[in-house]
Chain A
């Protein structure tokens, strides 16, 4: 086109650039846009802002990300990486360039998945699958722990090591399943169902809790846990489910449907064993000491009781009675002896009197009073009458005897 020298529009560079800027910045499409491309010329100067170029086969777009947005980004940017960047188009006037001021970056493909995530989340949420009321308590001390995870990989090893360290009394029942790829969702569903229908297929005790786990990965890697069939199987499980998928920042719909969400597989195993071996040791120690002290209490009680009984027994003991009986007996004896003494005294007085009387009646006593006993020598007969006197006779007086001769002529009989 031939320039019109007399065109009415004459602008300085600044004015034109300002005009372009106004055009771009007033376009709503350019102010809230997702742009898909591959990173190149990535530069991270000391300022903390990030500069790169997004390009595809035919075009390139200068991009910059302010320090505060860059700090929030969880994507580790690298040249060649396919990403989706969200931001607005701005114009850098000193260089006359336009650029995308990026505030959010996600790996390519995540956007569509995220939309699907939100759609399914809203759907299942409306059905009430994520209600708090549905959450069942996790048993503090499970006997059997079901694990659904990949048979290879760190997640299984981490969970088994954690369970072994915390509560080796536990029995683990493992169902291995692919955890990514198209075969993962139906396999995960089948694994959850087989643990739930265990009594029908074996006599193994049913798990008290199920750990559904997977190690970290990209959102595509974790996607099986966002599929409707897996989320529903988690919600349908009769056995409480702890979901530990990916890392702390990863949330899956299975997490929402599970009875408990764990940030990692290891954490899932920890949450499944709230009571640990140490807790059980402590509990046992406390029972043992309570047992010992209860029996000590009982023994002390019994001792006190026996002591009380013993003193009461002493009080009612026949010993006192025996003592008092003894006393009475002593008294009786004393009285008996005293009575006997009295009798003996009386008897002895009597005997003395009798002896005195007896003595006074003895021939010796009579002789003392001047009487004499005359006996005939010839026959020893006592001469008590005159007629008996004849021959030689013996006269006994108090202190001896002497002989006499009878003078018959002088016999004189009084009667």
Chain B
């Protein structure tokens, strides 16, 4: 049961929300203290990687603006002042 908590999806394929949700469940699982030591260490490592990944995403986030016209979606160029 504890095994299944250790996801295997590569972190860089996760969206921010997925990474944060997984981090949250890892923290809760570790705080629950029901895992073997070995699983705990794996969860901890995964959690650390997720936390730093989320941090990088947060700090590098750039608002993406697209324009929908009819059925076409294209990048929206903001007018410069």
Contact flags B39-81 to A (C-beta < 8 A → 1, else 0): 0110010011001001101100111111111110100101100
Main secondary structure of the interface of B (DSSP, over half): helix
Chain B's nearest CB lies how many Å from the CB of A188? 14
5 additional A-B residue pairs with CB within 8 Å, beyond A141-B17, A168-B61:
A152-B79, A277-B58, A280-B58, A291-B30, A301-B33
- Asked whether any CB of chain B lies closer than 8 Å to the CB of A397, the reply is no
Interface pair A294/B65, CB less than 8 Å apart: no
A-B CB pair tally, cutoff 8 Å: 98
- Asked whether any CB of chain B lies closer than 8 Å to the CB of A287, the reply is yes
Chain B interface residue count, Cβ-Cβ cutoff 8 angstroms = 37
Binds B, one of A5-13, A100-108, A173-181, A220-228: A173-181
Chain A's nearest CB lies how many Å from the CB of B76? 5
Which residues of A are in contact with B by a Cβ distance under 8 Å?
141, 143, 152, 157, 160, 163-164, 168-176, 194-195, 198, 201-202, 204, 277, 280-281, 283-284, 287-288, 290-291, 294-295, 297-298, 301-302
- Could you write out 9 A-B pairs with CB less than 8 Å apart? A143-B17, A157-B78, A174-B67, A174-B68, A202-B71, A280-B58, A287-B20, A294-B30, A298-B33
Interface pair A173/B68, CB less than 8 Å apart: yes
Contact flags B5-29 to A (C-beta < 8 A → 1, else 0): 0000000000111001001101100
Q: How far is the CA of A400 from the CA of B32 in the complex (A)?
A: 112
The residue from A160, A283, A297, A298 contacting B63, defined by CB atoms under 8 A apart: A160
Residue on A with the closest CB to B55? A284
Interface pair B62/A174, CB less than 8 Å apart: no
Q: How far is the CA of A332 from the CA of B70 in the complex (A)?
A: 105
Residue on A with the closest CB to B62? A168
Interface pair B61/A176, CB less than 8 Å apart: no
Interface pair B73/A283, CB less than 8 Å apart: no
- Asked whether any CB of chain A lies closer than 8 Å to the CB of B37, the reply is yes
Chain B's nearest CB lies how many Å from the CB of A299? 9
The residue from B31, B37, B51 contacting A284, defined by CB atoms under 8 A apart: B51
Residues in A neighbouring B63, C-beta threshold 8 A: 160, 163-164, 168, 170, 172
Residues in A neighbouring B20, C-beta threshold 8 A: 280, 283-284, 287
Chain B's nearest CB lies how many Å from the CB of A175? 5
Interface pair B40/A195, CB less than 8 Å apart: no
Q: How far is the CA of A204 from the CA of B55 in the complex (A)?
A: 25
Residues in A neighbouring B66, C-beta threshold 8 A: 171-174, 204
